Amino acid sequence: MTNDPRSALNRLIAAFEAHLDAAATGDETSPAVVAAEDALQDAFFTYDDALFTAYGIELPFDAFDSDEDEDDDEAEDDEDEGAEDDYDDEDVDEDDYDDYDDREVDDDYEG
């Protein structure tokens, strides 16, 4: 790992270019794409670390490990499922519909 931000940036740019070339195959499971993704992640974190070490500056966005993203997605899915369960037919108060039963119906209405 390098502590020189310029070298780390050059490595990051090269990793982006290699990823683009690998992605052109259109197969996200190909060994070339997977290797390019790994190299890109490594180069990104190396640059982020070098930038912070040299200047105390952080990149303006967060990057997460894909394993963490999957855990977050599962947690969001659980929350969404819970939201569907919040509504229950038993929550409907029958008194809310009493006004409709008491209305007089105008048989002469031709609407």
- Residue extents of the structural domains in the chain: 1-56
Q: Which residue has the higher pLDDT, 49 or 84?
A: 49
Helices (H), the chain: 5-23, 31-55, 66-85, 98-101
pLDDT tens, residue by residue, 66-76: 665 555 555 55
**pLDDT at residue number 72:** 54
pTM of the shown model: 0.56
Spatial contact of 39 and 18, defined as CB atoms under 8 Å apart? yes
**Sequence-distant (≥ 6) Cβ neighbours of residue 53 within 8 angstroms:** 3
CA distances from 100 to 10, 44, 92, 108 (A): 72, 64, 15, 19
Mean pLDDT in the chain? 76
